[in-house]
Amino acid sequence: MKIIISQQEAMEKGIWEEVARIFGVAQEDEVWPNETYILTEEQARQLGLIQ
């Protein structure tokens, strides 16, 4: 299973820093709120998105 999350959703859930780290997004990189990231099931579990 794959989980898709946008930058805005990650910010709202307070996990953006972890998502950015997973995908190698640096603080100085330009990111749009609707930009999406595809997480594996294991990554989503580690971030507390699913149980």
Give residue 3's pLDDT: 95
Give residue 12's pLDDT: 97
How confident is the model over 2-42, as pLDDT tens digits?
999 999 999 999 999 999 999 999 989 999 999 999 999 99
Alpha-carbon gap, residue 51 to 35, rounded angstroms: 24
Alpha-carbon gap, residue 39 to 41, rounded angstroms: 6
Question: Residues 34, 7: contact at Cβ < 8 Å?
Answer: yes
Q: Which residues contact residue 48 at a Cβ distance below 8 angstroms, ignoring those fewer than 6 apart?
A: 15
Question: Residues 36, 6: contact at Cβ < 8 Å?
Answer: yes
Give residue 39's pLDDT: 97
